[in-house]
Structure 1
Amino acid sequence: MMRKPLVAVIAASLALAGCGRLSNIGNPPALSEISNPAMAPEARVISMPMPQALPADQVPSSLWRTGSRNFFRDPRAKQVGDLLTVIINIADQAQMQNQTQRQRTNAEKAGLPSFFGLESRLPAVLPDAVNPSSLVDLDSTSSSAGNGTIQRNERIAMRVAAVVTEVLPNGNFVIAGRQEVRVNYELREMRIAGVIRPEDVTNVNTIDYDKIAEARITYGGRGQITDVQQPRYGQQVLDVILPF
């Protein structure tokens, strides 16, 4: 009698799990709503060690403004809400190979052919047919071998616009950006966040990814092709539960 409720619970769980998939049948992946970039998970809480803030000196009747880098208008990002372009050109290649081999052979042999005549009393203590000249004879052999190879090749070349979400007390910028591109029924998403120095921003308002501190770069997607490449819910559950 207990099998029917159990079957009902399992069926309800499977139905709820598949509702999200069933609602996408015949429809392309939905784009995310435009929201405040400062609320993105990559840039919501960022805390960096800061030096003590110094008051800015104001000089009356001066043409030079504190913090300015040029008398003319600077096109580079300099305050919250400004945009800049991040150039991502990752071409990483790593190859590592390790090989170890160990072998050891041990042999021990001990006897007591003559010891103040006490060797004649050994049969009273040890089993019969004991040979005093060969009391202990040990040997052991061990060997191990290992071989490992790691080979990685990554290539990403993209440009993504980011927004300055915060100006830290030392003048550095916290940036966050996201880009979504949908082709047919597959959506590709690019996210980036981190901390940059204003001095690293070029005069055309771009910055290379390798000048971003605490960089978080993700490139992925969702859609029909990505869905097919993922294992089913049941297989994922079994992979976690089964110990072998």
Structure 2
Amino acid sequence: MTRLLALLLAGTMLAGCNAGTRLAEIGRGPQLTEIENPTQSPNWRPVSMPMPAPREPIANANSLWRPGSRAFFRDQRAAQVGDILTVLVSIRDEAQLANSSTRSRDNSESLGLPAMLGLESSINRILPNSVSASNLVSGNSTSGSTGAGQIQRTETVTLRVAATVTQVLPNGNLVLGGRQEVRVNNELRDLGITGVIRPQDIQSDNTVRHDRLAEARIAYIGRGMISDVQQPRYGQQLLDIILPF
């Protein structure tokens, strides 16, 4: 009971905090967040990835080419912390699954003791007279189950978002992060993306496809009146979690 009351109290406090924010936005709609340095966020953590062993550079006399270099001429693609590049997000996910199963089982067991060194005649001294030694135990069971399920899902997301290089790993890979907010009337759309890319995957126009991102995290969420009415109340969500039936 104490734990249940604590959960209800926590849900009420959370709803109260959200209610305060919503009351402050009456007549104005959701407000855009300020531009911040992503590395100054309390939730930001530097990325640590497995790195290859370092190699000593080899100098060649009378040569403009440096061993290990990925390009002969320098270009304007993102390569350092603070550089900006565009991430092309094009997700088209379609899945269809159908499953059907049928199970049945029929069991029958019978146990008797017609003869056992003459001791079968002594059974009625222990058990009631209605018990027969030839049919001591008899049982049967029948069970069956039928199940069917089907899943069909189609998702399409096409976006372009500018991201900033926040870290250069020792092997040259780039850690990037970007966030974009778009407000239309009283509805706010928030797009966030983070990941790790190889410099050679950046195209000549300083863009990179989302499927080139390792450890990609792409979030596209909404805040506002429409998004608010599309989700259950906090109390209903809490009851859905704790109620066992």
Which TM-score band (shorter chain)? 0.7 to 0.9
CA apart distance, 1:57: 4.2
State how many pairs are aligned.
Answer: 234
2:88 aligned partner: 87
TM-score of the pair, normalised by structure 1: 0.83
Query: 1:228 and 1:169 mapped to 2: Cα distance?
Result: 47
2:204 aligned partner: 203
1:147 aligned partner: 148
CA apart distance, 1:172: 0.5
Q: Are 1:28 and 2:29 counterparts? A: yes
1:234 aligned partner: 235
Q: Are 1:131 and 2:166 counterparts? A: no
Residues 1:232 and 1:193: Cα distance change in structure 2 (over 3 Å): same
Letter in 1 for 2:144: S
Query: 1:43 and 1:102 mapped to 2: Cα distance?
Result: 52
Query: 2:240 and 2:175 mapped to 1: Cα distance?
Result: 39
Query: 2:35 and 2:62 mapped to 1: Cα distance?
Result: 43
Tell me how large the CA RMSD over aligned residues is.
2.7
Q: Are 1:51 and 2:52 counterparts? A: yes
Structure 2, unaligned runs of 5 or more? 1-8
Any conservation in 2 of the 1:82–1:163 contact (CA below 8 Å)? yes
Structure 1, unaligned runs of 5 or more? 1-8
Query: 1:174 and 1:41 mapped to 2: Cα distance?
Result: 17
2:193 aligned partner: 192
CA apart distance, 1:166: 1.0
1:3 aligned partner: none
Letter in 2 for 1:98: N
Query: 1:150 and 1:224 mapped to 2: Cα distance?
Result: 30
2:104 aligned partner: 103
TM-score of the pair, normalised by structure 2: 0.83
The residue matched to 1:87 in structure 2 has which SS? strand
1:176 aligned partner: 177
Residues 1:222 and 1:213: Cα distance change in structure 2 (over 3 Å): same
